Structure 1
């Protein structure tokens, strides 16, 4: 990908909590291009979600910083929308109202009332949830709740969509359907995506690059894998594709055998 420095630039990000002398993350350096889909993977406790929270502006870095489209990230903002593993929908609002609330909060100056209504419906349709717009979260399945969470995030017109293990709590079939839907949305909108995941197959299927973190604490980027698979991608066709198999094997090999930070292998 070209012009990685021109869009999302994560520069020497270090995060330490309390008085600990050992940081959770140490010197994370990553540049993401506009429209690129990047997954971050690693063992539990390596700081994947911590890194995403820094990019989201929910957590300050102890050192280094993040620049998005030429502007330094110094707190939460509508240019970065987050979808968590827990859908975080407001239970007393309908699906339509959950999405519309985000639209009203972020786009009221750019759109009139009728436009915001139409935009809300358009994003519900994008995730195939228009038929459930009047239902409340307690009346729909977990997968449907995640669709609403994705619709709400996309409706904010963010520059970057941040996904924190968004499919981790779902059954395998629902997860596969949502992965396919996210691929379609990414292809159609060209959205820049940074996704945290622990699922190797998911990372290879969805990503342009996979960033592998070493074990924490003091986690660093151990390796970055370019995923050389053409788009659009078909999961069934890819299952036997030697490029998919090789990429999957490369990530697994790192996670199982080379997950220690360079220079610390003998520690």
Structure 2
């Protein structure tokens, strides 16, 4: 992998309401290499989504700075695409139209209409949704909506794909299918991915590194775990893999210790 091109440098975030100030994140520094898949895990309230929103440019850091390829991130941009737990599709548009909307926004000046159509279809086919391209969100399942949300994000050809618990609202079987699909897409496109998750197995399966956050308020990075598992990864084979078991145990131990700390407070 190449050297880091996404750099989070001493980022802090506080929210003030009236006379009360709540410090959510404290001194967060992290470097992500191009093509790397990084998961951020921690208990609820530790500021995971806030950190993701700062990287996305949707929220301003109180202190610190985020760099992408040496440029300061201070607003949203097509170089960072976000997929939320809620698919956020426009209900009056078809699956194709939802993806095409992003394509037109980003490539209106650089691709012809025919090229934009071809690019839109390529992304829809990448997530195996060509058969449902003319259906509206109300006519497809939750998992299919998330596939279209991922296709729309990929259609922007972002430098960083940001996933905020994208499978959290799905049933177990649909979640496993989408996890496998994301692994295949990342292998094909070599995307740089930052994902928020509560799911330990998901984090170990998908990630090159797992960033474990301490509990809020004033959450910090507690540990960073390298997941030294060869790719491509096959779910069933990993169940008995010593490296997988050890990585899973390390994350569970960290989260369990943090949970005990909360209960004792």
For the 8 Å contact 2:215–2:258, the answer to whether it is kept is no
What is the match of residue 31 of structure 2? 31
What is the match of residue 71 of structure 1? 71
For the 8 Å contact 2:2–2:33, the answer to whether it is kept is yes
Listed as ranges, the gaps of 5+ residues in structure 2 are: none
Q: Does 1:91 align with 2:78?
A: no
What is the match of residue 180 of structure 1? 180
For residues 156-175 of structure 1, the aligned pairs below 5 Å read: 156-175=156-175
* Deviation of the 1:3 alpha carbon: 1.1
More strand by share: 2
* Deviation of the 1:23 alpha carbon: 1.1
* Deviation of the 1:20 alpha carbon: 4.1
* Deviation of the 1:107 alpha carbon: 1.1
> Deviations for 1:192-246, whole angstroms, at most 9, x for unmatched residues?
0000000000000000000000000100000000001000000000011011000
What is the match of residue 212 of structure 2? 212
What is the match of residue 240 of structure 2? 240
What is the match of residue 17 of structure 1? 15
For the 8 Å contact 1:214–1:259, the answer to whether it is kept is no
Q: The residue matched to 2:230 in structure 1 has which SS?
A: coil
Normalised TM-score (structure 2): 0.96
> Deviations for 1:85-115, whole angstroms, at most 9, x for unmatched residues?
0000000000000000000001111211100
Whole-angstrom CA distance in 1 between matches of 2:2 and 2:189: 18
For residues 245-264 of structure 1, the aligned pairs below 5 Å read: 245-258=245-258
Q: The residue matched to 2:169 in structure 1 has which SS?
A: coil
Listed as ranges, the gaps of 5+ residues in structure 1 are: none
* Deviation of the 1:70 alpha carbon: 1.4
Whole-angstrom CA distance in 1 between matches of 2:51 and 2:92: 31
* Deviation of the 1:30 alpha carbon: 0.3
> Deviations for 1:102-161, whole angstroms, at most 9, x for unmatched residues?
000011112111000000000000000011000000000000000000000000000000
Q: The residue matched to 2:154 in structure 1 has which SS?
A: helix
For the 8 Å contact 1:39–1:194, the answer to whether it is kept is yes
* Deviation of the 1:259 alpha carbon: 6.6
For the 8 Å contact 1:213–1:259, the answer to whether it is kept is no
Aligned residues, how many?
A: 262
User: RMSD of the TM alignment (CA)?
Assistant: 1.6
* Deviation of the 1:80 alpha carbon: 0.4
Whole-angstrom CA distance in 2 between matches of 1:251 and 1:166: 20
Whole-angstrom CA distance in 1 between matches of 2:143 and 2:93: 18
Structure 1 consecutive aligned stretches of length 4 or more whose deviation exceeds 3 Å = 19-22, 258-261
